[in-house]
Amino acid sequence: MFPACHVSKDPGTLPHYGAWYPKNCECVKQLHAWPGSCPDYLHYEGTGVPGASSCFYDIVLAHRFLCYRYQGRGPEEQLSDSPALNATGVDWFHVTGHAGRHSPPQEVPLRPEQVPQEFKTPDGGQWRPLSECPNRCSNRGWCQIQGNNYQGRHHDPVERWCNCQGYFRGNSCEVADAQHCYRGCSGVGECVGGWCHCKPGYWGHGCTRTKAYSSSVGWRPNHARIKVYVYDVPTHVVHRREFQDQWSLIDLMYNAEAEFTELLLGDWGVRTENPWEAALFYVPTFTYWYTGNTGHPYFIIQHVTKWLQDNSPFFNITGGRNHIFWATNDRGMCKLQMAPSDMQHSIKLVHFGQSPRRPYAARMKVGQTSDPTAHLGLRGALPQPGTRFPEFPAEFTAMDILEEAEICIRPEKDVVTPNYIMPAWVEPHNYNQVWNVTQLPDGTRLVTRKRGPDVPLRNFTLYFAGYTKPQMSYSQGVRQLIHKLFGEGGKYDPKGPNARPDYKIGGPGGGEAATYMKMTRFCLAPMGSGWGIRLVEAMISGCVPVVVQDHVYQAHWDVVPFHEFSIRISRYDLYRLVEILDDVRPDELEELQAGIERYHRAFFWDAQWGGLAYNYTVQALKQRAHSLWSVNYRRRRHRQRRRLFSVGRRAQHGW
């Protein structure tokens, strides 16, 4: 696709569509003309501004972007091969794009004296002709002086170095590691740009597909052994999107979607290649590559949903109610609370399980009510701005209240999972300080809590180290109150009469957090902007989590008994935190720690170190299939399903 965005006509090259260095103007036109760049059907329904772009390619909306066109070449011969700024036979332009596809981007030609003498890249480097770099960067990157990438900074003003496209590395971008593709392409494919190019007879994510199926009886899911079918959504719909032609760096905390997909692709006890027997359908969408941590997946979910509606009879048969989407960003699917119903139906895998008891948003039909705000789709009285809970006079604004009233999951259908934890937390050098690990002959692990004189004493009662912000929507005000209670002038001021030196409260703990959590009996687990990481860290460290997150369902809330290993406190009781924890007797603490021993592995993903987060997530998903069959939440009528999938109708539609 987009031939003018390639640097060469050689097979195996990929299009470059970032805005960090000049491209061929024809590349901009091709991207702008393609319906998938800024799809017309993407529209936001909700409160506030969308907060995300409905265009999926960086330069489509670029303003006064520097581009070039080779003289005497037709559109089919144009390439983005980085000529010199003073090269002969090249015309230069400033181009400005826009979201609408029905008029071309605006090009303004530059006179020779207007062409810049050098082009600075946003990382502080200088773009150079591709021919100046080793082996032309193997046609997998661009050439520059100085600047930096994910591997570090280049200071030499003479050195020409290759800034490689995503998932390539090496002095000339010659290395394409299979580790950047699911299942390493199973040894039967080549990993190109994070996507497997498979040998004949293999296809799909990780080159794991070898069979295609049809059915003479229609869709008949296996009710005895619930199976999951994995879609192979085309790369032009979703892919591991780059950031401005380079590696899209993923904070590993948000990597659960990739980890879950990697494990599911190899789990043939759960997965099936036959969609006609599948009860659940998993849709890999790479949402974090589109949202980052602070964005939201509204448009990418809408985009993929439209593709499924147009291409998947299995989606249409239930309206997507048995289809699974991921969103690991901070606030998960909150922005979908007022989305069209076809986006609402599917099962969402998220880390943030906010589900307020006063639903704020509800879709209402025109004429259904005389409420003048009904066109906004809003319902339910919200608390008034002001002070929200005892001994904390901070003001909650209307926006703070609105955010904590967002509907982010429907607990009857959606699944809350733990975030991915940095591997160092569960690697033996750290993990084995708390846990004894015995590998049994059948390959399973027996994990027990370490005891004895060599185990660090848990002399601290409570530990919390983390950021705080003035906005009360950040952590629902919990972090702010904790810092106030234990800070200067607070009830438990370290220098005051009520000082509690066994409570260690402070700012971000960095590398010391893992050490102190092993020395503490209770660890605070508040929110952040959305989900928080402290629950997982506490469980791994053997520290009883104290969860203070009002109307937020926790990871695995439906498949593990939280009351056996955690303390739950409402914000309204947070000012009594010290009294509540002081009331916990030694025998009660022992019971909670025994619960952590039983269930802590459910909260981390790394299977090589004994993580069971995948197993518990699959268990929760299977419960959703049972719930759907139990008609615990709405689905399409059986009559419509029979009509859609009668053999005759399938033949008529070519399914």
Segment 173-198, tens digit of pLDDT: 999 878 889 999 999 999 988 889 99
What the block records as the tokens of 76 is 């089919």
Q: In whole angstroms, give the CA distance from residue 370 to residue 365.
A: 11
- Bridge partner residues of 438 (DSSP): 446
Helices (H), 292-368: 298-311, 313-318, 341-344
1 with 17: CB under 8 angstroms?
Answer: no
Identity of residue 167:
Y
Domain 423-604 fold: Rossmann fold (3.40.50)
What the block records as the tokens of 651 is 């033949």
pLDDT at site 398: 84
Confidence of residue 360 (pLDDT cuts 50, 70, 90): low
Helices (H), 361-490: 398-404, 428-431, 478-486
Q: What would the mean pLDDT of 348-365 be, rounded to a whole number?
A: 76
Q: Is residue 395 predicted with pLDDT exceeding 90? A: no
pLDDT at site 370: 47
Confidence of residue 646 (pLDDT cuts 50, 70, 90): very low
- State the helix-helix crossing angle for 613-629 and 256-265, rounded to 10 degrees: 80
Say whether 527 sits in a helix, a strand or coil: coil
User: Which residue in 46, 57, 37 sits closest to 100, CA to CA?
Assistant: 37
Q: Is residue 540 predicted with pLDDT exceeding 50? A: yes
Q: Is residue 100 predicted with pLDDT exceeding 70? A: no
Q: Is residue 642 predicted with pLDDT exceeding 60? A: no
Task: Please say whether the dihedral angle defined by the alpha carbons of residues 33, 34, 35 and 36, taken in this order, is positive or negative.
Answer: negative
pTM, two decimals, is: 0.92
pLDDT at site 480: 95
Q: Is residue 643 predicted with pLDDT exceeding 50? A: no
Question: Which carries the bigger pLDDT value, residue 28 or residue 50?
Answer: 28
Confidence of residue 26 (pLDDT cuts 50, 70, 90): very high
Domain extents in the chain: 3-117, 423-604
Confidence of residue 248 (pLDDT cuts 50, 70, 90): confident
Q: Is residue 379 predicted with pLDDT exceeding 70? A: no
Q: What is the mean pLDDT of the chain?
A: 90
Task: For residue 619, give every residue at least 6 positions away whose Cβ sits within 8 Å of its Cβ, in sequence order, or none.
Answer: 559
Helices (H), 529-585: 534-541, 577-582
237 with 10: CB under 8 angstroms?
Answer: no
pLDDT at site 391: 81
Q: What would the mean pLDDT of 609-633 be, rounded to a whole number?
A: 93
pLDDT at site 371: 46
Q: What would the mean pLDDT of 426-438 be, rounded to a whole number?
A: 96
User: Which residue in 314, 167, 179, 303 sits closest to 245, CA to CA?
Assistant: 167
25 with 93: CB under 8 angstroms?
Answer: yes
Q: Is residue 543 predicted with pLDDT exceeding 90? A: yes
Q: Is residue 357 predicted with pLDDT exceeding 80? A: no
Confidence of residue 359 (pLDDT cuts 50, 70, 90): low
Confidence of residue 388 (pLDDT cuts 50, 70, 90): confident
Confidence of residue 430 (pLDDT cuts 50, 70, 90): very high
pLDDT digits (tens, 9 = 90+) for 38-92: 999 999 887 666 777 888 988 888 899 999 999 999 999 999 999 999 999 999 9
Task: Please say whether the dihedral angle defined by the alpha carbons of residues 267, 617, 290 and 536, taken in this order, is positive or negative.
Answer: negative
Q: What would the mean pLDDT of 361-382 be, rounded to a whole number?
A: 47
H-helix or E-strand containing 350? Answer: strand 347-350
Q: What would the mean pLDDT of 233-247 be, rounded to a whole number?
A: 88
User: Which residue in 282, 317, 325 sits closest to 300, CA to CA?
Assistant: 325
pLDDT at site 61: 86
Percent of all residues in the chain with a pLDDT value above 70, rounded to a whole number: 92
pLDDT at site 634: 55
Confidence of residue 653 (pLDDT cuts 50, 70, 90): very low
Confidence of residue 274 (pLDDT cuts 50, 70, 90): very high
Give the single-character DSSP code of 11.
T
pLDDT at site 375: 41
pLDDT digits (tens, 9 = 90+) for 136-168: 999 999 999 999 988 889 999 999 999 998 888
Question: Which carries the bigger pLDDT value, residue 49 or residue 541?
Answer: 541
